[in-house]
Amino acid sequence: MGVWLRAKETAEQVRAEVAAEAERQRANGTIPKIAALVVGNDPASVYYAETKRKVAAKLGIEFELMMQPGDVTQEQLIRIVSEWSRDAAVHGIMLELPLPAHISTSAVAEAIDPLKDVDGVTPANRLAGMTGEPGLVPATPQSCIRLLKAYGYTLEGKNVTLVGRGQTVGLPLFHMLQREQATVTVCHSRTPDLAFHLKHADIVVAAVGKPGIITWEMIRPGTIVIDAGIHELPDGRITGDVDPHAIEVAEAMSPVPGGVGTLTTALLFENAMRAIWLQQQAGREAAR
């Protein structure tokens, strides 16, 4: 039986640091503020945004939640995020994804000031995620790596099998894992023998979006498993991509819920604090 890699303690630590930084900013006259945009009435998007609003309140961060109808135009969305980008009182911009099919996500993302892009979706921050240049990197891939490190696991020289190459989790994580000096194998929907690649891994990271797609039989004893998947079952329970029974063969495994997602929310607000710092640094450079 392996060890559950629970994120509660690390997330609490990150939140305490964020609250202290928010307090420090307030004392210096900056009231940290995030603006979030939800388009349509997708229950998951509304739920995530409401959760962030509650966390923000606890951390001393102002949170403006703007809801737009599903038939809003791309131009209207671009106008909203452009205004927030110009507004000095807004320090972070969050765009709940997915957007409706008639809207180009990248066109809206491009209108966000990269220094306020706490989700790391702008082209400048995507590049920063690839190269390691300073920027704002998406929180979920960060969470996968921070969770491993919190339990003392290192990535250098390890064989990591990453399942999923999506824009939100898999693709940015691929670059981050390589920068941590891991040897990364990326599996996706066209990978014919997923089990083969999983058996050769020291560390498995699942970022697919299909409940239980990785069964316990696919996991080699001694493997460390990070499960970034989140699904709500018809009975309301939350589950991940990996069969929870895999804990019986794995050395360690992150639970769902209580793992990657728990830390992700905290890291999103850590990104917001970093965004304020980047904006203040840019302001100082412009004043020189």
Instruction: Check if the beta carbon of residue 274 is closer than 8 Å to that of residue 136.
Output: yes
Query: Maximum CA pair distance of the chain?
Result: 61
Distance between CA atoms of residues 171 and 130, nearest Å: 9
Q: What are phi and psi of 37, to 5 degrees?
A: -120, 125
Instruction: Check if the beta carbon of residue 268 is closer than 8 Å to that of residue 119.
Output: yes
The residue type at 87: D
25 versus 93: smaller Cβ distance to ligand NAP: 93
197 versus 274: smaller Cβ distance to ligand NAP: 197
Output the smallest distance, CB 227 to ligand NAP, in A. 8
53 versus 210: smaller Cβ distance to ligand NAP: 210
Query: CA angle at residue 232 from 226 to 238, to 5 degrees?
Result: 50
85 versus 103: smaller Cβ distance to ligand NAP: 103
Binding residues (CB under 6 A) for ligand NAP: these are 140, 163-170, 187-191, 194, 207-210, 213, 228-230, 260-261, 264
Instruction: Check if the beta carbon of residue 272 is closer than 8 Å to that of residue 118.
Output: yes
Output the smallest distance, CB 64 to ligand NAP, in A. 22
Within 8 A by CB and 6+ apart from 78, the residues are 107, 108, 111
85 versus 164: smaller Cβ distance to ligand NAP: 164
6 versus 280: smaller Cβ distance to ligand NAP: 6
Say whether 55 sits in a helix, a strand or coil.
helix
How does DSSP classify residue 246?
G
Output the smallest distance, CB 210 to ligand NAP, in A. 6
Could you tell me the CA-to-CA distances from 73 to 35, 97, 101, 253 in Å, in that order?
A: 19, 16, 11, 43
Output the smallest distance, CB 257 to ligand NAP, in A. 9
Output the smallest distance, CB 272 to ligand NAP, in A. 16
57-79 b/e with 16+ CB inside 10 Å = b? eebbbbbebeebeeebebeebbe
Query: CA angle at residue 228 from 224 to 234, to 5 degrees?
Result: 120
Say whether 162 sits in a helix, a strand or coil.
strand
Output the smallest distance, CB 283 to ligand NAP, in A. 31
60 versus 211: smaller Cβ distance to ligand NAP: 211
Give the chain's end-to-end CA distance (angstroms, integer). 59
Output the smallest distance, CB 182 to ligand NAP, in A. 18
Output the smallest distance, CB 106 to ligand NAP, in A. 14
Name the residue number minimizing CB distance to ligand NAP. 166
